[in-house]
Structure 1
């Protein structure tokens, strides 16, 4: 029997990529499974073999985003450099891949999915990334590179809340705000 795992994974990735583009173009509410099937180059019944419904597809997108983001954040936090530089790299890693959503006319609606359709995936993904920041903060504190009068977990939660806070309209300020946020945290922790 032939192993089609790679072929199936490629098909799922094609569907997810098409779904992200379609959601960005039409918004989540206005996108139908027919739209998603057409964008994926398949019939609606074929699409249902991969995803139960639009919500299942959206949750898969969110899980994939957080899996990629966690890996990129871990790599960024493993770099050497000033806390400011490392945090900027980690913040960029966390927000990497969100450009299509944030540049879309439907960016706000798509971000709100994290509070409704894919809330569980967001909670799990945020916790994973918070843990990475917690571990980095603990290591930096032990090395004497940063100083703070709180639990590392609390500082990591504040970092994540601040990152979430810069994902607000107008979205064209995110890059500038990201740099400012890294400076504020980096310099504040370095004192």
Structure 2
């Protein structure tokens, strides 16, 4: 394997490890074992667990953005497009991160990779903004609420749902209710 391939394999293997054990309980040994490399090999690419975690945050952010971009083009209605877009991130949290560690990983990401999290959240909000701006049936409350404000509100609420200890199906149901409520509230009235 090339150096880049090995590094990418370590990062890819680290995603489910952090999701299963959280940040604090994840060790370099667990990361090495999951990647199928030795512990010294992990240290060749990353000086510590924090560096691996930052690489995971960056990679996951890029992958979620690509998937969300594709999802935002699906669906017939604005509500369907918003739900598909927001569901990408929600489903990642529900399927990859154990409920016991969701809040811990969000806290650690905010502390150790705040720059990467902010960049990822801004890109995600920009996708939601684009869907809202592309919806002629929506009235973004004139000067009271811009598309950007509505997008941040929706993404923040989705993150709140994703942090819960609810089941994946409960989280999806709550997200759908949120999107439907938001679209109803923003729909132009004659």
| Partner SS state of residue 47, structure 2 | coil
Matched, 1:67 2:62: yes
Measured on the aligned residues, the alpha-carbon RMSD in Å equals 2.0
Matched, 1:178 2:175: yes
Matched residues, number? 183
| Partner SS state of residue 24, structure 2 | coil
Kindly state the Cα deviation for residue 104 of structure 1 after the two structures are TM-superposed: 4.6
TM-score by length of structure 2 reads 0.85
Matched, 1:146 2:141: no
Kindly state the Cα deviation for residue 154 of structure 1 after the two structures are TM-superposed: 1.1
| Partner SS state of residue 29, structure 1 | helix
* Contact persistence 1:59–1:118 (CA under 8 A): yes
Task: Name the stretch that deviates more: 9-18 or 53-62.
Answer: 9-18
Task: Name the stretch that deviates more: 119-128 or 176-185.
Answer: 176-185
Runs of 5+ in structure 1 lacking a partner? Answer: none
In structure 2, what is the Cα distance between the partners aligned to 1:189 and 1:58? Answer: 38
Kindly state the Cα deviation for residue 129 of structure 1 after the two structures are TM-superposed: 1.1
Q: 1:134 to 1:52 in 2, by over 3 A?
A: same
TM-score by length of structure 1 reads 0.84
Matched, 1:38 2:33: yes
Runs of 5+ in structure 2 lacking a partner? Answer: none
Task: Name the stretch that deviates more: 122-131 or 149-158.
Answer: 149-158
Q: What is the aligned partner in structure 2 of residue 95 from structure 1?
A: 90
